[in-house]
Amino acid sequence: MSSSREAEPAPVEVSRAAEDKLTYKLGLAAEVKCADLIQAYNACAEGRTISAAWACRGAYAASQACIAEYVNKVNIEAMKVRWVDAGRPQFPDWKQLMAGIVAPEHLVKVQRPQ
């Protein structure tokens, strides 16, 4: 019996460390792309404690939805396939791995507070 849906390809197996690095890089790009929404949530939550959960839920949901456009299962799998196809390099060309997933201008390194 055949199905009208094509079977999804099997996930690419990579080490947990490699998957974490790929996910981290997607997260950095999402932080750049979604910076305004993240800042809006941070501004809303500043000075609040428990009330931030309901007072800022719209801003939180918007920032999380933006981040999820980048950091999601489909994009992580695509990056894993590209990384494996590139020979599992220790120092990959991130622009090449993320081409079509993340715009080049969003690949700027995010400076995190110490």
Model confidence pLDDT, tens digit, residues 48-82: 999 999 999 999 999 999 999 999 999 999 999 99
Tokens for 109? 């390194």
- Kindly state whether residue 9 falls inside one of the protein's structural domains: no
pTM score, whole prediction: 0.75
- Kindly state whether residue 29 falls inside one of the protein's structural domains: yes
Please give the Cα distance from 47 to 80 (Å, whole number): 40
Domain of 58 in residue numbering reads as: 16-97
pLDDT at 110 over 70: no
- Kindly state whether residue 6 falls inside one of the protein's structural domains: no
Q: Which pLDDT score, from 0 to 100, does residue 1 have?
A: 47
Tokens for 107? 């690949």
- Kindly state whether residue 111 falls inside one of the protein's structural domains: no
Q: How many domains does the chain have?
A: 1
Q: Tens of pLDDT along 12-47?
A: 899 999 999 999 999 999 999 999 999 999 999 999
